[in-house]
Amino acid sequence: MSDEQPVPSDRIIVDAMNFSHEPDANQQPEKMTEVVTDESESAPSVRPGSVRFLIGGMLFALMRPRVLLFLMLWSCVLPLIVAVPMFNQANRDLSMVQDLPGQSVLALPESAPAWMFREWQIQSGDSLASIAEVMPLLILLSSIIGLLFSAGWMSMATHYRDEHSLRAFFKGGGESFFPFLRTWLLALPMFAGVTYVFWGTPAEWVLEQLMPEGDANLAASETTGRAIDIARQLLYMLALLKIEIIIDLARASIVVGQRSSALLAVLRAIGFLFRRPFAIFVIVLLGFIIEGVLIFGAEALRSFFEWPLLAAVFLLPFVRHLMRGARHSAVATYYRAATGE
């Protein structure tokens, strides 16, 4: 210890700044400049247009048939809790209908008159009402389990992109399920508040300023009343879409950054939406539009080929889960590309 010589303070400063007495070694600033220049030049290729993200999300979902098949089976099995007792009730009460000889009860929605269902509802008493009471619980369960599926799509698109198995899907979903559940709880009062603004006391006050007694039937013209009503509905749908986008961005922030705070994720999502409103609106809104077109197209295809109504039980869930997976994957990958995380 006594043989070691103390290092001069100026030598310590020079070494800490990574300078050397060799002239070729002191070129770090120029090297850093070259790296930054290369990254900025390649940025457009790393961040393609938002439409390409959505198309990529559709391809990403289609390349995972096992996940789509499981989600389709889930969508078919869950309603059976209500469908089976409802079918048994219909089979018992309507099987003796003489107007439909030789036809199955499954053909009733397409061939039976509407009065028959009203009469059946009246005569069934409380049996149909008790079956229908299960529906809210199923909707709640489907919404909560849907959080697991959303987290699975986003995680696979960002962290497990090379994986195709259900194991990776549920692993990614389980990692972010509880933060997603907190974003769901935060979204409920947001949706309720928007609904109150557009259909509660604030909306009634605005309508009273625009129309006599706030009634569209008492407007100066029928066209004016209809235009005001349509404008309110469109603004309401736009507000709901904006909340949906904020929640999706918050979930993308949680998954991409592997975070857990739902409140901070919502705040980050709001800031991100202000910075890039157009691109993210294109991804989400175009995703919903394509989903609607595919749903109507599937129904038109079924009608054209005269497939039974049962075919819709498989076609509609396939379209829904395909586009849901594409939308969530696109939002997550776009958020990661835009933020550089």
Instruction: Give the pLDDT of residue 212.
Output: 67
Between CA 85 and CA 67, with CA 145 as vertex, the angle to 5 degrees is 95
Contact 128, 121 (CB under 8 A): yes
Helix/strand/coil for 3: coil
Q: Specify the pLDDT at position 2.
A: 45
Residue 280 and residue 45: Cα distance in Å, rounded? Answer: 18
pTM above 0.85, yes or no: no
At a CB cut-off of 8 Å and minimum separation 6, what does 232 contact?
Answer: 198, 203
DSSP string, 111-144: HS-HHHHHHHHHHHTHHHHHHHTTHHHHHHHHHH
Q: What is the pLDDT of residue 96?
A: 57
**DSSP 8-state class, residue 214:** G
| C-alpha dihedral sign at 149, 69, 75, 78 | negative
Handedness of CA 318, 323, 324, 330 (dihedral sign): positive
Dist CA 70 CA 148 (whole Å): 13
What is the pLDDT at residue 323?
94
Phi-psi region of 103 (alpha: psi -120 to 50; beta: other; left: phi over 0): beta
Report yes or no: 173 and 152 within 8 Å, Cβ to Cβ. yes
What's the confidence (pLDDT) of residue 300? 87
Tell me the domain boundaries of the chain: 50-78+125-339
DSSP string, 4-71: PPPPPHHHHHHHHTT--SSGGG--HHHHHHHHHHHHHHHHHHHS--HHHHHHHHHHHHHT-HHHHHHH
Q: What is the dihedral of CA 221, 222, 228, 229, to 10 degrees?
A: 160
Within 8 A by CB and 6+ apart from 329, the residues are 56, 57, 60, 61, 153, 154, 156, 157
Q: How far apart are CA 148 and CA 250, in angstroms?
A: 15
Buried-exposed string 187-204: b where 16+ CB fall within 10 A, e elsewhere: beebeeebeeebeeeebe
User: What pLDDT score was predicted for residue 229?
Assistant: 82
Task: Say if residue 183 is exposed, middle or buried (CB neighbours under 10 Å; 0-12, 13-18, 19+).
Answer: buried
Q: Which residue has the tokens 């028959």?
A: 116
- 262 contacts: CB under 8 Å, gap ≥ 6: 179, 182, 183, 185, 186, 250, 254
User: CA-CA distance, 4 to 225, in Å (whole number)?
Assistant: 93
pLDDT confidence of residue 183? 95
Q: What is the full per-residue pLDDT of the chain (341 aa) written as tens digits?
A: 444 455 444 444 334 334 444 444 444 333 333 333 333 333 333 345 788 999 999 999 999 999 999 999 998 888 888 878 877 777 676 665 545 545 555 556 656 666 666 767 666 667 777 777 788 888 899 999 999 999 999 999 999 999 999 999 999 999 999 999 999 999 999 999 999 999 888 888 887 777 766 566 666 667 777 888 888 899 999 999 999 999 999 999 999 999 989 999 999 999 999 988 888 999 998 999 999 999 999 888 888 888 877 788 888 899 999 999 999 999 999 999 998 88
d(CA 299, CA 302): 5
The separation between the first and the last C-alpha atoms of the chain, rounded to the nearest angstrom, is 47
